[in-house]
Amino acid sequence: MIASILLHVLILLLMPPLLLGVINKTKAGFAGRLGAPLLQPYYDLARLMRKGSVFSRTTTWVFRAGPAVTLAATLVASLLIPLGNHPAIISFNGDMILFAYLFGLARFFTTSAALDTGSSFEGMGAAREVTFACLVEPTMFFIMVTLARMSKSLTLTQMLTYPSFDVWFVAGATMLLLVGALFIALLAENCRIPFDDPNTHLELTMIHEVMVLDHSGPAFGIILYAAALKLFVLGAIFVNLALPFKTGNPFINWAVFVADMFMLAVLIGVVESVMARLRLVRIPQLLVAATILSAFAMLLIVR
């Protein structure tokens, strides 16, 4: 029991940057390059933690609190998510609502920290972040209500461990719509292509990277880690819906989960390699389309 929880926490805390490594390796492969080592994100984090910091004169404590609150909210939210077949560390009725609102708290502080610099670029990024997030939010709740109705439960653990291949056979259309909507939400929330390009910093279509332009050193490291953790957490939800492999053995379950996450990372890498970033005006349309997909899923399960 304790060993299982320990393993759970270790995977939760240590694995997120690896996903970024896998995504980058996939993209390098598509581009015919060798690419950075798989563990490069860890090296980056370690280096950032040792670096000095530069603060802008206009900033206040909000700028400094931004990364801390963002990481704290993401960490607490990550405790509410089951990994594969393993129940979440903290689970109670209605934890999905808290989960969504914790990301709201993180967003409030990330965007406020961006506005604190007084830079027009960061204001731009912050405006985009809150606007697009506001369009993703209903999608997440349509998905949650649908899952709650299917699994007859109010906890994320039961909602997310409920899907299995039997469920896929019975309610395939619903699951397909859910997975589609969730994948779009996942890419948008984590600022991946086609919504945002994590590799560019100075283009005017940027969202996440431009918001954190002025953070440096350890604070930037915290932000990068929190972003990786968010990708991991939302990815874990996706994997539980899309690839619900179940075995009896807990250790095989862990291996399956890790393999699933790698598959998701490769999938994201493939999407990023074959697609271009959308024009900014198209993004809201795609997000609204995702909301409607998830609303259809709910209609299908309600009827």
Partner 1 sequence: MIFVWHIAVDPVANILGAILLIGLSGLPGLFIKRPGPGQKMSVVITICASILGMTGAMRILGGAPSVNYLLEWPIPFFDPCMLSADPLSALFLLPLLLSASCSSIYGLAYISASEHPGTEKQVTFFSGLLLASMASVLVARNGVLLLFAWEIMALSSWLLLMTNKKDAEVQRAGMVYLLCTHTGTMALFVLFSLLRAESGSFLFPAIHSLTTGGLTLPIILLAALIGFGAKAGIMPMHIWLPGAHANAPSHVSALMSGIMLKIGLYGIIRVVSFFVELPLWFGWLILSLGIISAVTGIVMATAQRDLKRILACSSIENIGIISIGLGIALVGMQSGNRLLVVFGLVGAFMHIINHALFKPLLFLGSGVIIHATGTRQIDRMGGLSITLPRTAPLFLVGCLAICGLPPLNGFVGELFLYFAAFSNGISAPLPVVAFIAPILALVGGLALITFVKLYGTIFLGTARDASATKGGEAPFAMLIPMILLTLACLITGVFAPLLLNLVEPVVVDYAAVPVELFERLVSIVPLQQLTMINGLLLLVILVIWVSWRFIVQRAPLATTETWGCGYLLPSRRMQYTGSSFSSLFTGLLRGSGGDGNRHPVLQGMFPASAGFASPTTERILDKIIIPILLGADWCLAWLRRTQSGHLHFYILYIFATLFVLMLWSHQ
**Shortest Cβ distance from residue 44 to partner 1 (Å)?**
15
Interface with partner 1 by CB under 8 A: which range of 7-15, 96-104, 178-186, 260-268? 96-104
Distances (CA, A) of 22 to 35, 39, 41, 261, 265: 10, 9, 10, 10, 6
Interface with partner 1 (CB under 8 A), residue from 55, 162, 168, 262: 55
> If 0-12 CB within 10 Å is exposed, 13-18 middle and 19+ buried, where does residue 42 land?
middle
| DSSP 8-state code for residue 155 | S
Nearer to partner 1 (CB atom), residue 135 or residue 268? 135
Interface with partner 1 by CB under 8 A: which range of 48-56, 160-168, 244-252, 265-273? 48-56
Interface with partner 1 (CB under 8 A), residue from 214, 227, 233, 238: 214
Residues 176 to 205 in contact with partner 1, rule: CB under 8 A: 202
**Shortest Cβ distance from residue 30 to partner 1 (Å)?**
29
Task: Tell me whether the omega of the peptide bond preceding residue 37 falls within 30 degrees of 0, making it cis.
Answer: no
Interface with partner 1 (CB under 8 A), residue from 131, 199, 200, 247: 131
Nearer to partner 1 (CB atom), residue 220 or residue 238? 220
Binding mask 16-45 for partner 1 (x = CB under 8 A): ------------------------------
What are the tokens at 297? 């899923």
Interface with partner 1 (CB under 8 A), residue from 28, 45, 100, 292: 100
Binding flag, residue 1, partner 1 (CB under 8 A): no
**Shortest Cβ distance from residue 55 to partner 1 (Å)?**
5
Binding mask 262-301 for partner 1 (x = CB under 8 A): ----------------------x------x---x--x---
Nearer to partner 1 (CB atom), residue 234 or residue 261? 234
Phi–psi pair at 118, nearest 5 degrees: 70, 15
Q: Which positions ≥6 away from 285 have C-beta within 8 Å?
A: none
Give the CA radius of gyration of the chain: 19
Decide if 234 contacts 190 (C-beta within 8 A): yes
Q: Which positions ≥6 away from 66 have C-beta within 8 Å?
A: 109, 110, 112, 113, 114, 116, 215
Residues 136 to 155 in contact with partner 1, rule: CB under 8 A: 136-142, 144-145, 148-149, 152-154
What are the tokens at 217? 């050193």
b/e map 91-127, b = 16+ CB within 10 Å: eeeebbeebeebbebbbebbbbbbbbbebebbbbbbe
Residues 73 to 92 in contact with partner 1, rule: CB under 8 A: 73, 75-76, 90, 92
Interface with partner 1 (CB under 8 A), residue from 2, 32, 34, 50: 50
219/118 Cα distance (integer angstroms): 18
